[in-house]
């Protein structure tokens, strides 16, 4: 049987493009989303990743049907925009439940299967925002920083079982993420002018981002690769350069560049 791949958040954007591409390459693909979606070329399972029972049931369903899970792509995620001071705690919990705890629960359900197989790959879709704090995205960036730490630690814990883990950090990708972001909408905000300028640039960058198919091809290469490393960037050269600069420049200079770019 072909390799079995589970991809969360396959109803739109990067997840849909990746699930479609891997299906076209001959893999057995199971996609998930909260909404019930018909008409995808790959199999869809309804699964809210903030619901532990739904995750356990979905993984069980795949094992019953396909008997194994070779690759887990943790892709489902939620963006945010707004000043941290004004972000409702309920929104922050929602983001961490989705972007962090949902990923943890999926890994916990899939690892026993992979340990028994003595093989498996886990690809966590993080973000360049997991390498640097970006203005008005404190919640989102901190959730992706969490994914970076989790990935680095987990790699060492499961390597002896033949399981490989990595994070894939996209820059801006042209998806519907702008429409799905939890955006703070507060009248008379002290951050209003600055936030509106930054928000516009943030949205424009997504529209001008790389197509989700480019991320799909990168995931495909990672699935095919015999031995994977810990972190991979995918995005426009300028955004990859930003990661390089973040590592090399003094913090004050890097922050100045980011603030000028986003017109904070």
Interface contacts to ligand NAP, rule CB under 6 A? 8-15, 33-35, 47-50, 75-79, 98, 125, 127, 170, 172-173, 175-177, 180, 206, 209
On whether the CB atoms of residues 6 and 27 are closer than 8 A, the answer is no
- Return the number of the residue (214 or 245) whose C-beta is nearest ligand NAP: 214
- Least CB distance to ligand NAP at residue 180 (A): 4
Q: Which of 140, 191, 232, 262 is catalytic?
A: 140
Tell me if residue 144 is catalytic. yes
- Least CB distance to ligand NAP at residue 97 (A): 7
- Return the number of the residue (117 or 178) whose C-beta is nearest ligand NAP: 178
Q: Which of 11, 127, 143, 167 is catalytic?
A: 11
- Least CB distance to ligand NAP at residue 118 (A): 29
How far is it, in rounded angstroms, from Cα 44 to Cα 108? 21
- Least CB distance to ligand NAP at residue 178 (A): 8
Q: Could you tell me which residues come within 8 angstroms of residue 98 by beta carbon, excluding any fewer than 6 positions away?
A: 49, 50, 76, 77, 78
On whether the CB atoms of residues 12 and 56 are closer than 8 A, the answer is no
- Return the number of the residue (149 or 162) whose C-beta is nearest ligand NAP: 149
- Least CB distance to ligand NAP at residue 47 (A): 6
Tell me if residue 11 is catalytic. yes
In terms of C-beta density within 10 A (0-12 exposed, 13-18 middle, 19 or more buried), how is residue 57 classed? middle
- Return the number of the residue (156 or 176) whose C-beta is nearest ligand NAP: 176
How far is it, in rounded angstroms, from Cα 17 to Cα 234? 15
- Least CB distance to ligand NAP at residue 192 (A): 24
Tell me if residue 227 is catalytic. no
- Return the number of the residue (33 or 164) whose C-beta is nearest ligand NAP: 33
Q: Which of 33, 126, 127, 143 is catalytic?
A: 126
How far is it, in rounded angstroms, from Cα 214 to Cα 226? 20
- Return the number of the residue (2 or 42) whose C-beta is nearest ligand NAP: 42
Catalytic residue numbers, as ranges: 11, 126, 140, 144
């Amino acid at each position: 049987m072909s390799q079995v791949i589970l991809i969360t958040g396959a109803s739109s954007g990067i997840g849909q493009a990746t699930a479609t591409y891997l299906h076209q390459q001959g893999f057995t693909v199971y996609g998930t989303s909260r909404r019930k979606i018909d008409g995808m070329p790959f199999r869809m399972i309804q699964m809210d990743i903030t619901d532990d029972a739904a995750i356990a049931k979905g993984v069980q369903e795949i094992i019953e049907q396909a008997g194994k899970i070779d690759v887990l792509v943790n892709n489902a995620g939620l963006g945010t925009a707004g000043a941290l001071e004004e972000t409702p705690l309920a929104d922050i919990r929602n983001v961490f439940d989705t972007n962090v705890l949902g990923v943890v629960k999926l890994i916990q359900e899939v690892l026993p299967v992979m340990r028994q197989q003595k093989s498996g790959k886990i690809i966590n879709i993080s973000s360049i925002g997991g390498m640097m704090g970006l203005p008005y995205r404190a919640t989102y960036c901190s959730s992706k920083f969490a994914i970076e730490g989790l990935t680095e630690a987990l790699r060492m814990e499961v390597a002896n079982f033949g399981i490989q883990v990595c994070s894939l950090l996209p820059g801006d990708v042209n998806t519907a993420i702008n429409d799905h972001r939890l955006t703070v909408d507060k009248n008379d905000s002290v951050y209003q002018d600055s936030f509106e300028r930054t928000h516009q640039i943030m949205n424009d960058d997504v529209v001008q981002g790389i197509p989700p198919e480019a991320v799909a091809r990168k995931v495909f290469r990672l699935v095919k690769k015999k031995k994977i490393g810990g972190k991979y960037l995918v995005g426009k050269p300028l955004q990859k350069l930003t990661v390089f600069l973040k590592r090399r420049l003094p913090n004050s200079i890097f922050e100045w560049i980011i603030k000028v770019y986003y017109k904070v």
